[in-house]
Amino acid sequence: MQPTLTFGVFLVYFGLLSCTSATSALKILTVYTHPGKSHSDVFDPILRELTSRGHQITTLSHFNHSTPEYHFETLLFDTPINHLDINFDNSADFFGPVVIFKFAYASCVNDLKSKVVHKVLHEKSRHFDLVIVEAFVGDCFVPMGHHFGAPVIHVSSSPLITWFSPRFGQVINPSHVNNFLNAPLFGMNFLEKVKNTLQTGGMIYAYYYFIGMAHHYTSARSVYKNLPSYDDTIQNVSLALVNTHGSLHGAVANVPQIIEIGGVHIAPQTDLPKNIEKWINESKDGVIYFSMGSMIKGHTFPEEKRKIFLKAFGRLKQRVLWKWENETMPDKPDNVMIQKWMPQYDILCHPNVKAFIAHGGLLGTTEAVHCGVPVVVMPQFGDQHTNARALEAGGGGVVLNFREADEEMVYNALKTVLDPEFNKKAKELSARFRDRPMSPMDTAIYWIEYVARHKGAHHMRTAAVGMPLYQYLLLDVFGFLAVCTLSILFIGIYVTKLFFRLVMSMFSKSDKKQKKLKKN
Ligand SMILES: *[C@@H]1O[C@H](CO)[C@@H](O)[C@H](O)[C@H]1NC(C)=O
Ligand SMILES: *[C@@H]1O[C@H](CO)[C@@H](O)[C@H](O)[C@H]1NC(C)=O
């Protein structure tokens, strides 16, 4: 063969090989309805990575995710965003049912009415290979998959919220699986199990009937043509990428469609701003980083608590970096530096940062675990309580009740986590968290492309999907076995009785005969 021909055959061969083993460029529709920044902080890196691997993204969202470097077709919902200002007074009941219904209404009923939804559904040229829908409170965009004949993937910026579990046949046995709010992680006592069972069941049924089903047969029906039933729609979701990792949130029995990508938002470190780096560099006893996240603002920080923290800081050798949104802070001691905005992850991973005071939001918690910095956690609402307890159980921090905290408690909590032994435990947790067969981002991309390659990958469903609860709990089988056992028991008793009666009657007959004989 001539060399050029050989080369040509070679090229064709490898061309075919790469076609079959890799996924060619996909057209992906992503729908992120919740207007919270901590949610898009998880999704944006995934979108950017998909783009850099050659896939084409169209995104329906409240934010413009596009950057000059990473271009997405962004279709903004024209519904107004209900900005949520959370402070220390209202945060306790923040994740109550009323708020969940409000979120659900906004992200389903309102967003579905947007002009951009109509545009996506009815422009003739539109075609998608894959649909990615945020899993939070609502299923109004899941039928997009059926509309385009494309598989649907869920992405959750938190652990999978309890009400999404049944569609995957996920194990939700409340004897040992906590619902995502409030329940303790390990060793529930009897009353806690009762509470966990009621909460889990309540959440699942309330969501199914009053949010999922209700919106499906009202809002979704008026938007999509030939809408399948609600069950068929949600049970068709291929898999869920969830922002957890067993090393942090505790081991759970996940079905194959639940893929853990905890830490996916963590990007390579970048340089710190010079003033912050200098301050950290120059503190010979290390630095404590203090931030209550992006939703709870400094000006809502109770004055009396602020004084308590400052007094506790005054008793420590360490310097403190405090994320504080106001220009100044009254009676700020010299070892405290305030900044409105701080590159949190880069700060946490600086070797001189020895402790983190936080609210237990998942992203900050994950970053601290990744960097191996021990945390004093003061959870406020929602999943923060669960994250905090998980962190404490894993040796990565201690939980401090913010409302009850006094100077002594703050000081002691900080002393505890600043101890070198505690630091060692946090480093061990970090090592467990990072030790995986693939990085969280590679895992996410692998499974997204996997679903496209295998046309929905529905072989990953277990037989539990769509099974009625009484069958799932084996109530029919136990019922049947109970009936069998009882029947055998009754028949046994009946036969025995009959037998004895027969024997007795035979005896009494022969008795009578004998009596008769005697009389005669
Ligand atoms: C289920 O998903 C497939 C693609 O995986 C899609 O073609 C089909 O229309 C979907 N069915 C329903 C009922 O959503
Ligand atoms: C901080 O310390 C590191 C390592 O010693 C050094 O590379 C960096 O230039 C220092 N930065 C500043 C602003 O002093």
pLDDT digits (tens, 9 = 90+) for 437-457: 999 999 999 999 999 999 999
Give the mean model confidence (pLDDT) for residues 15-29. 67
Residue 67 has pLDDT above 90, yes or no: no
Report CA 287 to chain centroid distance, whole Å. 31
pLDDT value for 103: 82
The answer to whether residues 223 and 139 belong to one domain is yes
Question: Per-residue confidence at 20, pLDDT binned at 50, 70, 90?
Answer: very low
Q: Does residue 218 sit within a domain? A: yes
Residue 82 has pLDDT above 70, yes or no: no
The answer to whether residues 200 and 317 belong to one domain is no
The answer to whether residues 99 and 174 belong to one domain is yes
- The structure tokens listed for 193 are 């199990």
The SS3 call for residue 270 is coil
Among 383, 409, 434, give the residue marking a domain's end: 434
pLDDT (tens digit per residue) in 375-422: 999 998 778 888 998 999 999 999 999 989 999 999 999 999 999 999
For residue 456, the ligand 1 atom closest to its alpha carbon is 5
Q: Is the CB of 229 under 6 A from ligand 2?
A: no
Q: What is the CATH number of the domain that holds 369?
A: 3.40.50.2000
Q: Are strands 73-76 and 130-134 parallel, antiparallel or unpaired?
A: unpaired
User: Which ligand is closest to the CA of 457, given by its number?
Assistant: 1
Question: Phi, psi (5° rounding) for residue 338?
Answer: -105, 145
For residue 458, the ligand 1 atom closest to its alpha carbon is 5
The answer to whether residues 257 and 280 belong to one domain is no
Distance, in Å, from the CA atom of 128 to the CA atom of 144, rounded to the nearest integer, reads 10
Q: Does residue 189 sit within a domain? A: yes
Q: Does residue 510 sit within a domain? A: no
The answer to whether residues 343 and 312 belong to one domain is yes
Q: Which parts of 350-444 are beta strand (E)? A: 353-358, 375-377, 397-399
CA of 450 to the centre of ligand 1 (A): 16
Kindly report the average pLDDT of the chain as a whole number: 88
The answer to whether residues 304 and 213 belong to one domain is no
Residue 16 has pLDDT above 80, yes or no: no
Question: Per-residue confidence at 1, pLDDT binned at 50, 70, 90?
Answer: very low
CB 72 within 8 A of CB 51: yes
Closest residue to atom 4 of ligand 1, CA basis: 151
CA of 233 to the centre of ligand 1 (A): 8
pLDDT (tens digit per residue) in 131-183: 999 999 899 999 999 999 999 999 999 889 999 999 999 988 999 888 877 65
Query: pLDDT above 70 covers what percent of the chain?
Result: 91
CA of 278 to the centre of ligand 2 (A): 7
Domain containing 235: what range? Answer: 22-262+439-467
Residue 435 has pLDDT above 80, yes or no: yes
pLDDT (tens digit per residue) in 328-356: 888 888 899 998 888 999 999 999 999 99
Could you give the number of structural domains in the chain?
2
User: Which ligand is closest to the CA of 234, given by its number?
Assistant: 1
Q: Is the CB of 274 under 6 A from ligand 2?
A: yes
Question: Per-residue confidence at 295, pLDDT binned at 50, 70, 90?
Answer: low
Q: Is the CB of 277 under 6 A from ligand 2?
A: yes
pLDDT (tens digit per residue) in 457-482: 999 999 999 999 999 999 999 999 99
Residue 249 has pLDDT above 50, yes or no: yes
CA of 281 to the centre of ligand 2 (A): 6
Neighbours of 313 (CB within 10 A): 23
Residue 126 has pLDDT above 60, yes or no: yes
Residue 27 has pLDDT above 70, yes or no: yes
Closest residue to atom 13 of ligand 2, CA basis: 278
CA of 280 to the centre of ligand 2 (A): 9
User: Which ligand is closest to the CA of 230, given by its number?
Assistant: 1
CA of 364 to the centre of ligand 1 (A): 37
- The structure tokens listed for 350 are 């600086």
Question: Cα dist. 120→31, 149, 223 in Å?
Answer: 11, 14, 12
pLDDT (tens digit per residue) in 264-283: 999 888 999 999 999 999 99
Closest residue to atom 6 of ligand 2, CA basis: 281
Closest residue to atom 7 of ligand 1, CA basis: 149
Residues sharing a CB contact under 8 Å with residue 340, sequence separation 6 or more, in sequence order = 323, 324, 325
For residue 274, the ligand 2 atom closest to its alpha carbon is 13
CA of 395 to the centre of ligand 1 (A): 44
Distance, in Å, from the CA atom of 106 to the CA atom of 134, rounded to the nearest integer, reads 14
Residue 517 has pLDDT above 90, yes or no: no
CA of 150 to the centre of ligand 1 (A): 6
pLDDT value for 513: 74
The answer to whether residues 118 and 202 belong to one domain is yes
The SS3 call for residue 502 is helix
CA of 326 to the centre of ligand 2 (A): 28
Residue 66 has pLDDT above 90, yes or no: no
Residue 18 has pLDDT above 50, yes or no: no
User: Which ligand is closest to the CA of 232, given by its number?
Assistant: 1
- What residues are in contact with ligand 1 under a 6 Å CB criterion? 145-146, 149, 151, 228, 232-233, 236, 455-456
Angle subtended by helix axes 407-418 and 420-434, to nearest 10? 60
Q: What is the side-by-side strand order in the sheet with 56-61?
A: 73-76, 56-61, 27-32, 130-134, 152-156, 239-242, 258-260
Q: Does residue 398 sit within a domain? A: yes
